[in-house]
Amino acid sequence: MKDKRVLLIVGGGVAAYKALLLTRLLRKAGIAVRPILTKAGAEFVTPLSLAALAEDKVYQELFSLTDEHEMGHIELSRSADLIVVAPATADLIAKAAGGFAGDLASTTLLATDKPVLMAPAMNVRMWLHPATQRNIATLKADGVSFVGPDEGAMACGEFGPGRLVEPEEIFAAIVAMLEGPAARPLQGKRALVTAGPTFEPIDPVRGITNRSSGKQGFAIAEALAKLGAEVTLIAGPVAQPTPVGVKRVDVETARQMLAASQAALPSDVGVFVAAVADWRVDEAFGTKLKKEKGGPPALTFVENPDILATLSASGPRRPKLVIGFAAETDHVEEHARAKLARKGCDWIIANDVTEPGVMGGGENAVLLITQDGTERWDRAAKDQVAGQIAARIAKALG
């Protein structure tokens, strides 16, 4: 990304401060940022902050003698690999859709021959207004790309779609566009990933769970999203941040995880990383068990559904590629190969959990077991292993 250049148009809105954070992310990645600040944008962030973070001059006026002398507005519109509009206000969107050129930002958008990415931000009613939706459709037909908006609470006190997505998500969309389609072999593919432990209640305050951190599953979801996949991550209770661009569904029990996995179909690939509790208490108690009440309770257990085996046998809805995990303590390859057959999946990724630092730690040493044979991968950080797995998935689905 070192020699890449972004022309960042900052529109006016409360969310404009996120453009400052975005500028920082871009600069940290070595991407050059040349900012254009609209009049409305300058009501929310100052040219000084933007210039300092971008480490470049801020352009504001169409009719500025010095700016025109140093770099004409036409040249400015061509000086980058990508034009990013963040926040893209209803006004900027309307101007761009209508082909207006009354100020520097809209002139730049009209004069450019470079790809454009817009991150909309506006009040929910403004976003939902047919005029805005018409403008968005026009711009999409013209080849403009969009990231967001998010849905949520707004500075104006209303709730709904229209929030600017977080800077990290805009950054990821920028990187994806700068890298081009070759770097996104999973574009258009859907992926389902389960991760973390499950929690099976005994009573309202107690339950059965395990020590899975969710790290490996979250890293795989992130790696698949980076390659362009549309990822649904079904997570048990873990303290992991949601990877950028990933749709996360939080669940507690194995049965909820199964239902969420089935709801995420159809999917091209299913990666079942979760450490699902094998058993649950037959019937969880509705009120807290009291120790005064005649000694420890007798708990009856029943088996949980096997999510991996169920989805492997889901007929026409089965993902093309189903991948299971096996945490083993001995005879790793032998046990994992038996699991491949028993569960009906295509690959098993096996690891030896007696190795220090694997369970809950940052590293993993895995075997990839397929019908064709076994590969032993070098011990590496979990996100590196995730990258390798995602690359193999892309190759298999290619």
Catalytic amino acids?
Answer: 156
Binding test (CB under 6 A) with ligand C5P, winner from 20, 33, 85, 254: 254
The verdict on whether residue 150 carries a ligand-binding annotation is no
CA gap 225, 383 in Å, rounded: 13
Binding test (CB under 6 A) with ligand C5P, winner from 15, 246, 326, 386: 326
**Minimum CB distance to ligand C5P, residue 298 (Å):** 24
25 or 258: CB nearest ligand C5P: 258
CA gap 326, 333 in Å, rounded: 10
Identify the burial level of 289 via C-beta atoms within 10 angstroms of its C-beta, where 0-12 means exposed, 13-18 middle and 19 or more buried: middle
CA gap 253, 279 in Å, rounded: 10
**Cβ–Cβ under 8 Å, residues 15 and 121:** yes
**Minimum CB distance to ligand C5P, residue 362 (Å):** 20
State how beta strands 145-146 and 116-120 pair.
parallel
306 or 352: CB nearest ligand C5P: 306
The verdict on whether residue 316 carries a ligand-binding annotation is no
CA gap 5, 71 in Å, rounded: 16
- The verdict on 274 binding ligand C5P (CB under 6 A) reads yes
- The verdict on 235 binding ligand C5P (CB under 6 A) reads no
CA angle (126, 128, 132) in 5-degree steps: 65
**Minimum CB distance to ligand C5P, residue 377 (Å):** 17
| Per-residue interface string for the shown chain with ligand C5P, residues 181-220, x marking contact by CB under 6 A | -------------x--------------------------
**Cβ–Cβ under 8 Å, residues 217 and 238:** no
Residue 41's SS3 state is: helix
The verdict on whether residue 272 carries a ligand-binding annotation is no
What are the beta bridge partners of residue 271? 193, 323
95 or 339: CB nearest ligand C5P: 339
199 or 325: CB nearest ligand C5P: 325
CA gap 172, 198 in Å, rounded: 30
Annotation: binding site for CTP: 278, 288, 305-308, 325, 339, 343
Sites of contact with ligand C5P (CB under 6 A): 194, 254, 272-274, 276, 304, 306-308, 324-326, 339
Per the annotation, binding residues are: 278, 288, 305-308, 325, 339, 343
